[in-house]
A and B are shown apart, each in its own frame.
Chain A
Amino acid sequence: MDFSLNEEQVLLRDSAREFLGEEWPSTELRRMLDAADGAAAAQALWSKMSDLGWPGLLVSEDYDGLGLGMFDLAVLMEETGAALIPGTLHASGLLAVSALETMANEDSCQKYLPDIAEGKLKATAGIYEPGSGWTPMMLAPEAGEVVTKRYVPDAASADLILFVNRTGGNGAQIAIAHEAQIEDIYSMDVTRSLSQVTCSAGQLEVLGEGTIADVQAVVDRATIGLAAELIGGSARVLDMTVEYVKNRKQFGRAVGSFQAVQHKAADMLIGIEKGRTGVYYAAAVADERPDDLARAASVAKATANQTAVSVGELGIQLHGGLGFTWEQDLHLYLKRAKAAEFTYGDTKWHLDRIAHGLGLS
């Protein structure tokens, strides 16, 4: 197995880190959260990311994308997770792109993917429904019925909302939800928009068909991206914490010289290294060995959940009272981690899926 980053991936990582450091420092993030023109800050970032081709990173070259793989995206998403960017890249460049490429017919791909790749069209996909739990087994919509999708990422600013529906048995469809009603859901993760979206069955424009297994594969790819964002965020929390405990002095010495503090910091690093491995492995599996995708995605997400929440909590602890303040960014990482923990399956769901795959249940 080869986990090393190639030259292009190193360049992608380094340039992304530099770009986000300049374009999305904490002050910009705070402007998005607090200022009246918050949406403008997010839109400005989106335009600049689009210039770099990020929304089309996964889109195949046939549709004017960069045609890169999940491993490349994971490398990028560690950086975007570290910078706590809003959810448009995840929703459009990963979730919607994967859904379209997996399930939509050729004409629809031709029609929408080039604009998505260019960033002109911001797309998202609704999969889960109230009561569907984390297994995307939705009810088939019937004429006259209203379809409700819950936990739809970034729908409020999306130009194209896709619904992925179950059509009976193991069949599934992907459709555009026209005239959709969007209702904000307030997530603990204030840096990302989440909505409940409703659409009448008559307003669904079907773009293609597939199976429930296709839907799960789309979700598994999005899961790996989310796990990459969590590990990137965790690494940033550790950097902030190391910097703080090196400089903060009590009892006449840096608090980072106390063993009780040192050992917590060491545990943060151990979790991050394991989590990063889980993400890279799953991304490589998505690119090269799709038959193993489900289990690899579950390993990545279960580990990332645990690492991100524990690192987020320890980061606050090691910053002392300062870590508990609104003004310090640490709470934003913990909130991201906690909300993401319950996205695309919580830890228990993923462990149960692994146990089932191992024949233990």
Chain B
Amino acid sequence: MTRLQDTPGEAAFRERLRTWLEANTPSIGKHDVDALKAWQRTLHEAGWLGLTWPAEYGGQGLGFREQAIFNEEAARARIPPGINNIGLMIAGPALIAVGSEEHKKRYLPKILSAEEIWCQGFSEPNAGSDLAALQTRAVDDGDDYVITGQKIWTSNSLIADYIWLLVRTDPDAPRHKGITALVVDMKSPGVTVKPLLQITGEAEFGEVFFDEVRVPKANRVGAENDGWIIGMKTFTRERANISVSLSVRLQQQFDRLLDTVRNRDVPLDPQQAREVAQAYVDSQCLTQTCERMADRLFGFESSVVKVAWAEMNQRLQRIGLDTLGPDAPLLSAGGFDQVGDTTATFGTEALAEDDESYAKSWQFGYLRARANSIEGGTSEILRSVIAERVLGLPRK
């Protein structure tokens, strides 16, 4: 048996994909929404998206191994950023797990083709780590719910067509038992989105306000007041999908670090060289841990990988910046607009081609990576998840 090489089937898949990517990969800036949508449609039509999704909804019915190969080859080919990652990595997999047949047929194909962009409305100003405290209210009104409230940290909300939403349907029930999951059209009257400026100066996230928004009950996913379980299932799929793609992005970040280090005029001192070697050790082990644990990542063990990845990426970004010495704080014209974003938890799979200014990209990475240990579950919450759900320690 061979452990290090692809099986013949995997090798053929990789070869076919690599050839296709070499012939078809365009160069698109991260803010060119229309071109990015068109690129996703091209990928989908060629059969490279929804690899693990069932064929009847436009997927390919393959396994995680093929998804991992896709991630590796996509990174290698530096494909443009994904425009619908929340749809592909969170909402879609959640619908596959808990959605009705009608919902799956209606929404999944258009997630794949990027005809409809999705965002996820879970967090609220007063419900972050403590998600069960969410207050956005859905009032029963005949065939509709009427929704009022606010969501925050909503990635992609500025361009989204649909939001995967958790609302409170029963304010009198125990807090985990009065929550319901809905699919809401972002063009519904009463929905407004405000950009949320981040420490990088970008607005990747938005705040979404609901002012008596009418949503047909047909848009409910699962039973009324069953939303908490659905939310938890969403999370496990979210973290599993994150983990599968993390490994590749970590590898890219390390390669970028090597590139930076080798382009310096001054050689590294022994201490710096050791720090880079240590980063190699940790990113290798973590990358391969994602592969080793792939079949366990739908459970709580995905938190192991997420916590380790967040801290690893933050360290890589810091080392990259520190390595530049006095050039580190210099910022060339244009801010971070052209800097590729592989540092976000839902970041794109490719670096932008603009490698002219290392300082600029490491500054962006350093700042953006501060969110890694907050988004998708803070490292504090996830360490408690590991302790209680994986190791079986008692809860308070």
Binding site for B on A (CB under 8 A): 1-3, 6, 71, 238, 242, 245-246, 253-254, 256-257, 259, 261-263, 265-267, 269-270, 273-278, 280-281, 284-285, 287-289, 298-299, 302-303, 348, 351-352, 354-355, 358-361
Contacts and interface: CB of A to CB of B under 8 A. Distances in A.
A2 B289 CA distance: 11
Given A273-B293, A274-B286, 5 more contacts: A238-B391, A263-B380, A266-B391, A274-B282, A348-B274
A274 B278 CA distance: 13
B4 interface: yes
Contact of B281 (A269, A303, A352, A361): A303
A2 B6 CA distance: 9
Contacts of A265: 386-387, 391, 393
A254 B388 CA distance: 12
B133 interface: no
B62 interface: no
B304 A269 contact: yes
B337 to A, nearest CB: 32
B281 A242 contact: no
B244 to A, nearest CB: 13
Interface in B331-386: 380, 382-384, 386
Contact of B276 (A1, A71, A270, A358): A358
B383 A267 contact: yes
Given A246-B393, A284-B3, A284-B4, A270 B308 contact: yes
Interface of B: 1-5, 258, 261-262, 267-268, 270, 273-274, 276-278, 280-282, 284-286, 288-289, 291-293, 304, 307-308, 380, 382-384, 386-388, 390-396
Contacts of A361: 267-268, 270, 273
Taking each of A273, A285, A354, which has the highest tally of chain B beta carbons within 10 Å of its own beta carbon? A273
B349 to A, nearest CB: 19
Taking each of A3, A245, A262, A352, which has the highest tally of chain B beta carbons within 10 Å of its own beta carbon? A262
Contacts, number: 142
A232 to B, nearest CB: 16
Contacts of B307: 266, 270
6 contacts: A257-B393, A274-B282, A303-B282, A354-B281, A355-B273, A360-B276
Q: What 4 A-B pairs have minimum CB-CB distances, sorted nearest first?
A: A262-B387, A3-B292, A266-B386, A256-B393
B395 to A, nearest CB: 6
A246 B392 CA distance: 8
B304 A354 contact: no
B276 A355 contact: yes
Contact of A269 (B274, B277, B391): B391
Contact of B289 (A274, A287, A351): A274
B242 to A, nearest CB: 16
B103 to A, nearest CB: 35
A262 B388 contact: yes
Taking each of B3, B258, B396, which has the highest tally of chain A beta carbons within 10 Å of its own beta carbon? B3
Nearest to B280: A354
A242 B390 CA distance: 11
Contacts of A263: 380, 383-384, 387
Nearest to B289: A277
B161 to A, nearest CB: 38
B3 A266 contact: no
A223 to B, nearest CB: 14
Contacts of B380: 259, 263
Given A266-B387, A285-B4, A352-B273, A358 B285 contact: no
A257 B396 CA distance: 5
B383 A289 contact: no
A45 to B, nearest CB: 31
Given A257-B395, A351-B274, A269 B390 contact: yes
Contacts of B388: 262
